[in-house]
């Protein structure tokens, strides 16, 4: 506690994992959230071309199983990206540069672990 550290604890070539909050996309349907194909656009279909379709069986289970992919909040969750390689270190500005994408929006807060 109370110890100060900077970017110099990392070395070029180190593999790190980066944790951040992913971009929030609000309440999204199953096509955007999970990549579902949706229903037919013609041949009598008119009201639900972007819906999920069936969510379960008939009266035998009489319930919807846990984990069913449905519409809901998309994004704004804690995400961790592992095995990112440190390619450059700028000690004067206390910055490290990694190869690959990191979660979150621009100027977001990230946690970098060795």
pLDDT of 65 above 90: yes
| Residue spans per domain, the chain | 7-113
Q: Which CATH architecture has domain 7-113?
A: Irregular (4.10)
Q: What is the average pLDDT across 81-101? A: 96
The pTM assigned to this predicted structure is: 0.79
> Rounded mean pLDDT of 23-47?
93
In angstroms, the CA 66 to CA 93 distance is 48
CB 69 within 8 Å of CB 34: yes
How far apart CA 51 and CA 34 sit, in angstroms, is 12
């Amino acid at each position: 506690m109370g110890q100060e550290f900077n970017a110099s604890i990392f070395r070029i070539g180190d593999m790190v994992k980066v944790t951040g909050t992913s971009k929030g996309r609000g309440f999204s349907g199953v096509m955007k959230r999970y990549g579902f194909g949706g229903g037919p656009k013609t041949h009598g279909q008119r009201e639900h071309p972007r819906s999920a379709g069936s969510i379960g069986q008939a009266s035998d289970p009489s319930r919807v199983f846990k984990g069913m992919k449905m519409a809901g909040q998309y994004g704004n969750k804690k995400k961790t990206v592992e095995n990112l390689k440190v390619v450059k270190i700028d000690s004067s500005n206390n910055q490290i540069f990694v190869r690959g994408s990191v979660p979150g929006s621009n100027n977001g807060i990230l946690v970098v672990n060795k």
